[in-house]
Amino acid sequence: MSGGAQPGPVAALLGAALLLPGVAQVWAQDTDWPTITGGNDAGRYAALDQIDSGNFARLEPAWRWRLPDNDLMANDPRFEDASMKQRTHVTTPIKIGDRLYVVTGYGIAAAVDPATGTTVWQHDPQSYGHGRPTNHGFTHKGPSFWSDPERPEAPGRLIYASTDAILRAVYADEGTPVRSFGNHGGVDLTAGLHRAVERRKYTVSSPATICR
């Protein structure tokens, strides 16, 4: 999802929803998009044959997903301050199995059913409480996914850095923090720096690269 400056709440349309009728269910079941660029090679390519030059012009939205950030801006008085508004949206969902995963500009992680657009779970660490990050403000490009190859039965994990300089891990099946990761689910990225850093000035908007 991406967009230009917006004066108020924005309803997001996931790219995965732009499918021909009947194709959404096939795509939801058969193809993964494990990183925001499609794979570790950043190829941005999916080997799908349901959409081609012959039917591209007939694509239509299958569903729309409303960002939880909209509710924050509408109901939380802290977001009446102009500095707390979002001005751009660059989130790209990833898809693993039968779920889409996304991290919003305000750092809310969510799982979405790719066939229906229904929210499965949301996790809000309230990282926006430290104020608007410098430079690009409240933006996030998306999460990373990790699963243990030696324990395929174990739930996978979403890894993402929030706007308060915390690298977080949540279980992909239910959206709860992985308590064994860092300090009860988070690693302080400012720890060990040679001088104190204001949290909103240490921002990571891109997904983590996971190596093993």
The pLDDT value recorded for residue 170 is 98
Residue 30 banded pLDDT, cuts 50, 70, 90: low
The residue ranges of every structural domain in the chain are: 15-201
Structure-model confidence comparison of residues 35 and 176, the more confident one = 176
Fold of 15-201: Thrombin, subunit H (2.40.10)
* Max Cα-Cα span within the chain: 58
Q: Is the pLDDT of residue 47 over 70?
A: yes
Q: Is the pLDDT of residue 46 over 60?
A: yes
Residue 90 banded pLDDT, cuts 50, 70, 90: confident
| pLDDT tens profile 137-158 | 888 888 999 999 888 888 999 9
Q: Is the pLDDT of residue 205 over 80?
A: no
pTM (predicted TM-score):
0.82
Q: Is the pLDDT of residue 111 over 80?
A: yes
